[in-house]
Chain A
Amino acid sequence: MALALQTFATVKDANAALKAQGTRYLGGGTLVVRAANEGDVSVSGLVTSTEPSLSTIAVAGDKVRIGASVTMATIAGHPELGTLAKAARAVGGPAIRNMATVGGNLFAPAPYGDFAVALLALDATVSTDSGETPIETFLANRDGSRAVVTSVNFTLPKADSFRFLKVSRVKPKGVSVLSIAAVLQQAPDGTVSAARIALGCMADRPMRARAAEKALIGRSLTKDGIAPALAAASDGTWPITDPIASAWYRNEVLPVHLGRLLLA
């Protein structure tokens, strides 16, 4: 069976077409076309939708809705999403960013999917035609996910509370050794009152560093203050081993980079 593309005006029709065996949704092509090029013959039908809402960004106050087909380049250049520009720019080179979509990034296996790490730290929700799912639940179940993702939704953090770091071996950029995103709230005395930390490449998909988050509460962002969080950074990680780095290496350097992110 050759590869065939079906394009639908509505997500509803695309969802109906995706019920057929051997079909996959085509976003920017950076995952699905790549797989086909590499000889993955399990997919014979590609389905895509041109529904306009998939390509729009809506910002109302601090509430943000990004359509699933919005590209990394669009996010990086959006005047109201400057906080997230660094995370969007972390994905690929310029050509990839013109193609890779926010919806696709949710499915990108480690070492890819740096933007999804940011979305996890933002505690986003993922929308399909059947409703909204917390991103952590969505990521956990993504392998069986069939419905077209329509948008991601989140509350925009204050600029100084969101931090993002991608670590690569190649400059200016390359594939991730790991990536870290954090949303930190600080009490007036500077101690951390709430923390969400998400890690990329520390498992086969983005994961929360819950032990480190817990260890930060009530602590100041100083070398001594973050020490317990760094000690707990690798709790529950199951890093990938790939040509970029071994699992051992990723676990070894995670506390170093988390420390740099927290002290930045």
Chain B
Amino acid sequence: MAKVPVQFTLNGSEKAEFVDSGTTLLNALRDKVGDTSPKGGCHQGTCGACSVIIDGELRLSCLTLAETCDGAVISTTSGLSENGVLHPLQRAFLDTFATQCGFCTPGMIMAAKVLLDHTPNPSRDEVVEALSGNICRCTGYEPIIQAVLTAARANSQNAA
């Protein structure tokens, strides 16, 4: 069956793949490109574990077809740290114990990153709203909210 060519930028590198038509971006990233940081928790759009950033917007890669991402700029959690230095969000999640099983973490960090990109100093309510599409079944929401607020503070201190 015919393969569809798709090219996009993933975490700053150019990627070109041939995918089966109808392949989700989640499967293309994980099985073709080899970036397994987005997780498949429900494939229904309800858990947020597959969250990625496409052209600056938070999207669910499990409900996005890879071929619709031709030319897109995509970010995932695996590309956040630079030269081995953790991104402030990663640092904050680590320091504030905001991970337990870790399965929801990459999606949580993506949702938090989009928030901080647009709203560098969010209120607690804004953090809660930004994470409202991401489920943590270990129910570590409080530390996760605190981590995002901590990262925002760290960012603003660095900027000052």
Residues of A within 8 A of B (CB): 2-5, 26, 28-30, 33-34, 36-38, 46, 48, 73, 92-96, 98-99, 172-173
Residues A93 and B24 in contact, CB atoms below 8 Å apart: no
User: Beyond A29-B64, A95-B51, A99-B59, is A5–B21 a contact (Cβ under 8 Å)?
Assistant: yes
A68 to B87 alpha-carbon distance, docked (Å): 38
Chain A residues with Cβ below 8 Å from B88 are none
Chain B residues with Cβ below 8 Å from A5 are 4, 21-22, 65, 67-68
Residues of B within 8 A of A (CB): 1, 4, 20-22, 24, 43-45, 48, 51, 57-60, 62-65, 67-68, 111, 114, 125, 128-134
Chain A residues with Cβ below 8 Å from B45 are 30, 34, 92, 95-96, 99
Chain B residues with Cβ below 8 Å from A3 are 21-22
> What would 21 A/B residue contacts be, using CB atoms closer than 8 Å?
A2-B20, A2-B22, A4-B21, A5-B4, A5-B68, A28-B63, A33-B63, A34-B44, A37-B24, A37-B63, A48-B68, A92-B133, A93-B111, A93-B131, A94-B58, A94-B133, A95-B45, A95-B51, A96-B60, A98-B59, A99-B63
A172 to B131 alpha-carbon distance, docked (Å): 10
| Minimum CB–CB distance for B49 against chain A, Å | 11
A29 to B44 alpha-carbon distance, docked (Å): 10
Which has the most chain B C-beta neighbours within 10 Å: A37, A38, A93? A93
Of A2, A4, A38, A48, the residue contacting B44 (CB under 8 A) is A38
A37 to B27 alpha-carbon distance, docked (Å): 11
A38 to B64 alpha-carbon distance, docked (Å): 14
Of A26, A34, A99, A172, the residue contacting B43 (CB under 8 A) is A34
Of A2, A4, A28, A95, the residue contacting B133 (CB under 8 A) is A95
User: Beyond A34-B63, A98-B57, A98-B59, is A93–B132 a contact (Cβ under 8 Å)?
Assistant: yes
